[in-house]
């Protein structure tokens, strides 16, 4: 599985809350990994979490919205904790020149 360290930072189109974007596949994999771990915990340890993970939590933490756009550099807060949301760059499948240059295998397969 290929992973890039730089996840795109996105802004909620409803409330302008900043989050970072992961793909649905990535979110599902994380949820699966967490729930596997969660299942191994004792009841007491499980209480320190909010329960099993679900990809439904990968939405705007402020308003619950699920529509985002790429954040501008000046919109990105430094040093604050931002949460992951499911968002896939709609331009990623088009050959539109963007400010973020991506060098990816043209035949990279997303499984």
- For Zn ion, which residue of 60, 71, 85, 86 counts as binding (CB under 5 A)? 60
Instruction: Considering the complex, state which of residue 29 and residue 62 has its C-beta at the smaller distance from Zn ion.
Output: 62
Walk across the sheet containing 68-70 and list its strands. 68-70, 9-12, 18-22, 84-86
**Binding to Zn ion by residue 15, rule CB under 5 A?**
yes
Residue 86 host element (H or E) = strand 84-86
- Give me the least distance between CB of 77 and Zn ion, in Å please: 15
Stretch that binds Zn ion, among 24-32, 36-44, 62-70, 82-90 (CB under 5 A): 62-70
- Give me the least distance between CB of 60 and Zn ion, in Å please: 3
Interatomic CA distance for residues 42 and 7, integer angstroms: 33
Interatomic CA distance for residues 55 and 71, integer angstroms: 22
Residues contacting 44, CB < 8 A, separation 6+: none
- For Zn ion, which residue of 8, 30, 65, 66 counts as binding (CB under 5 A)? 65
* Residues found near Zn ion in the complex (CB under 5 A): 12, 14-15, 17, 60, 62-63, 65
């Amino acid at each position: 599985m290929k992973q890039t360290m730089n996840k795109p930072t996105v802004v909620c189109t409803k409330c302008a809350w900043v989050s970072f974007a992961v793909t649905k596949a990535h979110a599902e994999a994380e949820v699966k990994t967490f729930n596997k771990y969660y299942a191994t915990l004792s009841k007491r340890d499980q209480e320190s979490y909010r329960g099993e993970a679900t990809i439904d939590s990968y939405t705007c933490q402020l308003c619950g919205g699920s529509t985002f756009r790429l954040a501008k550099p000046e919109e990105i807060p430094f040093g604050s904790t931002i949460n992951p949301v499911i968002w896939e760059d709609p331009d990623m499948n088009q050959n539109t020149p963007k400010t973020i240059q991506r060098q990816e295998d043209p035949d990279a397969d997303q499984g």
